[in-house]
Amino acid sequence: MAADGGDGMTADVAVLGVGMHPWGKWGRSFVEYGTAAARAALADAGLDWPDVDSVVGADTVRGGYPGYVAGATFAKALGWQGARVASVYAACASGAQAIATARAQILAGLADVVLVVGADAAPKGFFRPAGGDRPDDPDWLRFRLLGATNPTYFGLYARRRIAVHGDTPEDFALVKVKNAALGALNPYARYRKRVTAEEVAASAVVADPLRLLDICATSDGGAALLLCSLDFARRHGAARPVRIRAVSTVTPRFPNTVLDLPDIATDSAVAVPAPDETFRASIARTAYEEAGIGPEDLSLAEVYDLSTALELQWYEDLGLCGEGEGAKLLREGATAPGGRIPVNTSGGLASFGEAVPAQAIAQVCEVTWQLREVAGDRQVAGARVGITANQGLFGHGSSVVAVR
């Protein structure tokens, strides 16, 4: 539960600076993308590199040994200056865990200013496990035993929505149309071209019923945040900064009765009742409870649209609508610009693609720009509260609530 310190929430930390390296396939080291994002965040904050007390790097296992020690790798690239350092890995939730680590350091009084940075240089095609034989690793097993790539799972999720809720491929296509239109307005997005529903329907089938334009790409990119204590923000002249009010990094509860990446089987519910809520719903609920808000308080949301069908699922998991009502909410225009709760104003992964350690951080960058009201043609009028949501393999929750 969040604590009230009289002049605000004592668990708040300020977002003093944000920065990104454009997404794409650039063919260079992740270190280059991360340091560019970090320098942009420093410039945005009006700080110099020696002002940073601590660096928290979100790891990329594809970067070899430097990727596994991303915090120190970025600190070295920026120039050794004695800062504390930490590195975290939580698959697609790595960025949120890096934010949580930075916030904990600030609230504990160990640092006033913390740089959070994540970057990736992704392979062409779908992600695959790191090399070596690991028969106790569910991620390795699903590839070796089933050939179940990520798009296979995305197709299963979509099939389940069709069977259970009556969603259609046309509903899925509308998600892409919405996000592509917003991505066309974002200078950091990889894909900056509007698409039509007809173009989605005409693209190649990847994992039925999902087509190529229903599924996000893999990308290179980087994102960074400068977080600080509220006292430091005030001393620095930021009287009303964007604040991070909650970070949810929860794990699932036994038993899990729905297939979820990377597992290829569900937990048994023979002797133990299923939880009252799904894993993804628990991620959002925990964030709401910590922030002291509800879905009705949101101005916008940035969610993890690995596929168009998964964005619809997040509408329900975030409590933006009832179960099975995601497609209806979309068709009503509620999640589009000008709607009741715009979703993925950045353009989402549909427009960016996955740069795994950076994407949860990039979501907070977008929310920050929106709350500062500097998002240009993507701006949500009067934005005051934003939430991010995604999840990482192996049971990593990821949600951040920011307020202005």
What span, in angstroms and rounded, lies between the C-alpha atoms of 189 and 357? 16
pLDDT value for 87: 98
Average pLDDT over residues 312-327: 98
What span, in angstroms and rounded, lies between the C-alpha atoms of 313 and 162? 12
Q: What is the pTM of this model?
A: 0.95
Q: Is 96 exposed, middle or buried (0-12, 13-18, 19+ CB in 10 A)?
A: buried
pLDDT tens for 341-381 read: 999 999 999 999 999 999 999 999 999 999 999 999 999 99
What span, in angstroms and rounded, lies between the C-alpha atoms of 384 and 64? 40
Residue 388 pLDDT > 50: yes
- 13-125+221-243 matches 138-211+244-403 in fold: yes
CATH number of 13-125+221-243: 3.40.47.10
Instruction: Give the residue among 52, 46, 38, 116 at the shortest CA–CA distance from 83.
Output: 52
Residue 296 pLDDT > 60: yes
pLDDT tens for 8-22 read: 446 899 999 999 999
pLDDT value for 10: 62
> Domain 138-211+244-403: which topology?
Peroxisomal Thiolase; Chain A, domain 1 (3.40.47)
More confident position, 147 or 47: 47
User: DSSP letter at 63?
Assistant: G
pLDDT tens for 106-121 read: 999 999 999 999 999 9
Q: How far is CA 320 from CA 47, 233, 294, 326, in A?
A: 38, 33, 10, 8
Average pLDDT over residues 161-169: 97
What is the Cα Rg of the chain in Å?
20
Residue 6 pLDDT > 80: no
- For residue 57 the two structure tokens come to 């790097």
Respond yes or no on whether the N-terminal peptide bond of residue 138 is cis (omega within 30° of 0). Answer: no
Cα-Cα-Cα-Cα dihedral sign, residues 157, 158, 163, 165: positive
pLDDT tens for 65-109 read: 999 999 999 999 999 999 999 999 999 999 999 999 999 999 999
The domain limits of the chain are 13-125+221-243, 138-211+244-403
pLDDT value for 195: 98
Half-sphere exposure of 276 (CA within 13 A, CB side): 1
Mean of per-residue pLDDT scores for the chain? 94
CB 278 within 8 A of CB 314: no
- At residue 56, the 3 state secondary structure works out as strand
pLDDT tens for 193-224 read: 999 999 999 999 999 999 999 999 999 999 99
Angle at 20 between CA 31 and CA 313, to 5 degrees: 110
Q: Which residues contact 214 (CB under 8 A, 6 or more apart)?
A: 154, 158, 172, 173, 175, 176, 200, 203, 206, 307, 308, 309
At residue 194, φ and ψ (nearest 5 deg) are: -65, 150
Residue 391 pLDDT > 90: yes
- For residue 354 the two structure tokens come to 């996955």
pLDDT value for 1: 34
